[in-house]
Amino acid sequence: MKVYINGKFFDQADAKISVFDHGFLYGDGIFEGIRLYSGCVFRLEEHLERLEYSAKAILLDLPWTRKQISDATCEACRVNGLKDGYIRLVVSRGVGSLGLSPKSCASPQLIIIADKIQLYPPEFYEQGLKIITVPTRRCNPAALPPTIKSLNYLNNILAKIEAQNLGFHEAVMLNDQGYIAECTGDNIFLVHKGKLFTPPFSAGALSGITRGAVLDIAKKLKMPVEEKNLTRYDAWIADEIFITGTAAEVVSIIEMDGRPIGTGKPGPAAKKITAEFKRLVKKDGTKI
């Protein structure tokens, strides 16, 4: 595999960055996780827009145009001979001296890893997933807005570890007011009486690209949608729950906090949305 670093491609073993990069020292940077489906990058423009917003929010001036990043992303896929894959685009603050100030960093670094996607086991999708609420709360937006897709993932990693220690793959994270924010690396949706609910960004949800695609699909299916603060109780009594993310796509949740959700099996709304999502990824992409 060849990795793109600042305009050049390196063999995987030689793809190295400085230990003085503030992305490594302080988690000072941003990233995107993007899918390549049948030679097309899914919603690339939206990913690059979110990257630009993340950069703006952390006062990082991107020295590349959107077109340059887009071209480099497609090139990374081509160079690696990929048709289907997972692209990890990272912008770090760059090499600086010790100390928090980004002023010592000369220039940001752009790293693009285009790799094969490790698909989750099929039973994940056929049987659905059991999840649990964990004690670690999602970052307060007044401290670090969860809408910034930053290199600081310890908040989510702690929640993931807590879930795994209890024997679960994924965790529900609440915000500091006790409302549902999202999962550790996925957005969350509830279905109740034919209506779709998902937490707003103000509750600590990332503006997920898959979340956006699901909202578009719901509109097309004429399914009513509401973005509102949701409690654990709302989730426990929901007819269906599903989670969405670039890597996971759409996964049904069959149990939360020891309570079976709906019939305890993947529900019809999630199945319908999944089928539409599979259609969408075939046509909503940028050809590499």
Nearer to ligand PXG, 186 or 240 (CB): 186
Helices (H) and strands (E) in the chain, counts: 8, 16
Q: Which of 245, 262, 266, 285 binds ligand PXG (CB under 6 A)?
A: 245
Nearer to ligand PXG, 265 or 278 (CB): 278
Query: Which of 235, 168, 230 lies closest to 205, judged by CA?
Result: 230
CB 105 within 8 A of CB 22: yes
> Of 202-210, 227-235, 252-260, 270-278, which segment contacts ligand PXG by CB under 6 A?
202-210
- Point out the catalytic residue in the list 8, 149, 219, 271: 149
For the bound state, the minimum distance from the C-beta of residue 153 to ligand PXG, rounded and expressed in Å, comes to 7
Nearer to ligand PXG, 33 or 141 (CB): 33
d(CA 229, CA 172): 14
Sequence-ordered strand ranges (E) for the chain: 2-5, 8-11, 29-37, 40-42, 85-92, 109-115, 129-133, 170-174, 180-183, 187-192, 195-198, 225-227, 240-245, 249-256, 259-260, 285-287
How much is the CA Rg of the chain, to the nearest whole Å?
19
Binding mask 81-120 toward ligand PXG (x if CB under 6 A, else -) reads -------x--------------------------------
H-type alpha helices, 58-153: 66-79, 122-126
d(CA 11, CA 137): 39
Q: Does 211 bind ligand PXG (CB under 6 A)?
A: yes
Is 149 among the residues known to form the active site?
yes
- 200 φ, ψ (degrees, to nearest 5): -75, 165
For the bound state, the minimum distance from the C-beta of residue 213 to ligand PXG, rounded and expressed in Å, comes to 8
Using the structure block, give the residue that is written with the tokens 């690396």: 185
Q: Does 246 bind ligand PXG (CB under 6 A)?
A: yes
Q: Does 247 bind ligand PXG (CB under 6 A)?
A: yes
Q: Which of 182, 230, 261, 274 binds ligand PXG (CB under 6 A)?
A: 182
Q: Which of 27, 33, 141, 145 binds ligand PXG (CB under 6 A)?
A: 33
Residues labelled as active-site residues: 149
Interface residues with ligand PXG (CB under 6 A) are 33, 88, 156, 182, 185-187, 206, 208-211, 244-247
